[in-house]
């Protein structure tokens, strides 16, 4: 069983702009779709920059006298921009579609990013993963989580008999109980359950008949 990948949670299609998209067209796109940023693509649908609200609002900050010279120069340059190419920030935070969601979520937090643009193997934009997309997975109903853990974790991956192991879910918190064959399977059941989208926490109360910890490298 694999954990959720970026492609499982990303939003598609993505509202995009071309290098020649005008200032007013960009403002219109942001307003129409209720978004705060828009990726700029080249002719091969590869992201070359991002225009966000701050880039567009720079036009109203070009006369600031309280900021450092280098910052005023940067803001002034943005303020004169008329197209996406002139307004965009060229650093684009991207993520591969098959990267685990857990890794992408860490990047969002550690780099203080609001979104990651999802690309395929050729670097073409295919989606966007925003913080809200990751958080939305926690809205999965408890009964649905219970069904997935029972079927995918205990029965298919661990091959535990339904009569020997049970699953309870309350507000996304999963409790595993019962007895299964080996200690290594207890550990595996725990981290596999943690990888199920929507799981908030795992209380692993499973017990085992055989301690294979040394052979499995467990302490």
Greater model confidence, 69 or 136: 136
Q: Which of 1-15, 35-49, 134-148, 157-171 has the lowest mean pLDDT?
A: 1-15
Q: What is the pLDDT of residue 34?
A: 94
pLDDT classification of 66: cutoffs 50, 70, 90: low
Q: What is the pLDDT of residue 81?
A: 76
Q: Does residue 75 surpass a pLDDT of 60?
A: no
Q: Does residue 186 surpass a pLDDT of 60?
A: yes
pLDDT classification of 4: cutoffs 50, 70, 90: confident
Mean pLDDT estimate for the chain:
88
According to CATH, the topology of domain 140-216 is 3.30.1340
Percent helix, strand, coil in the chain, to 5, is: 40, 25, 35
Mean pLDDT calculated for residue range 133-160: 92
Q: What is the pLDDT of residue 10?
A: 95
pLDDT tens digit sequence for 144-156:
999 999 999 999 9
pLDDT tens digit sequence for 7-39:
999 999 999 999 999 999 999 999 999 999 999
CATH for the 6-137 domain, from 2.60.40.1180, 3.10.580.10, 3.30.70.141, 3.10.129.10: 3.10.580.10
Mean pLDDT calculated for residue range 46-75: 69
The domain segmentation of the chain, as residue ranges, is: 6-137, 140-216
Q: What is the pLDDT of residue 41?
A: 98
Q: Does residue 70 surpass a pLDDT of 60?
A: no
Greater model confidence, 158 or 60: 158
pLDDT tens digit sequence for 48-60:
999 999 888 876 6
CB 116 within 8 A of CB 107: yes
Q: What is the pLDDT of residue 147?
A: 95
CB 55 within 8 A of CB 87: yes
Predicted TM-score (pTM) of the model is 0.71
Beta carbons within 8 Å of 171's beta carbon, 6+ residues apart: 142, 200
Kind plus residue range of the DSSP H or E element containing 94 = strand 94-96
**Per residue in 175-202, is it b (16+ CB within 10 Å) or e — as a string?**
bbebebbbbbbbbbbbebbbbbbbbeeb
Q: Does residue 113 surpass a pLDDT of 80?
A: yes
Q: How far, in Å, CA of 169 to CA of 175, rounded?
A: 6
Q: Which of 1-5, 17-21, 87-91, 166-170 has the lowest mean pLDDT?
A: 1-5
């Amino acid at each position: 069983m694999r954990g959720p990948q970026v492609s499982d949670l990303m939003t598609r299609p993505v509202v995009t702009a071309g290098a020649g998209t005008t200032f007013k067209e960009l403002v219109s796109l942001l307003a129409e779709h209720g978004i705060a940023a828009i990726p700029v693509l080249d002719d091969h649908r590869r992201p070359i920059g991002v225009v966000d609200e701050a880039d567009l609002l720079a036009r109203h900050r070009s006369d600031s006298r309280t900021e450092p010279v280098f910052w005023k120069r940067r803001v002034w340059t943005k303020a004169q921009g008329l197209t996406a190419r002139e307004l965009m920030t060229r650093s684009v935070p991207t993520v591969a579609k098959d990267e685990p969601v857990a890794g992408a979520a860490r990047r969002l937090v550690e780099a203080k990013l609001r979104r990651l643009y999802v690309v395929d193997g050729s670097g073409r934009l295919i989606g966007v993963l925003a913080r809200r997309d990751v958080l939305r997975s926690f809205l999965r109903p408890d009964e649905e989580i219970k069904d997935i853990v029972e079927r995918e974790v205990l029965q298919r991956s661990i091959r535990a008999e339904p009569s020997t192991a049970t699953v309870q879910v309350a507000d996304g918190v999963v409790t595993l109980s019962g007895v299964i064959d080996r200690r290594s399977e207890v550990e595996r059941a725990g981290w596999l359950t943690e990888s199920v989208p929507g799981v908030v926490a795992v209380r692993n109360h499973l017990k085992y008949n055989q301690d294979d910890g040394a052979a499995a490298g467990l302490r």
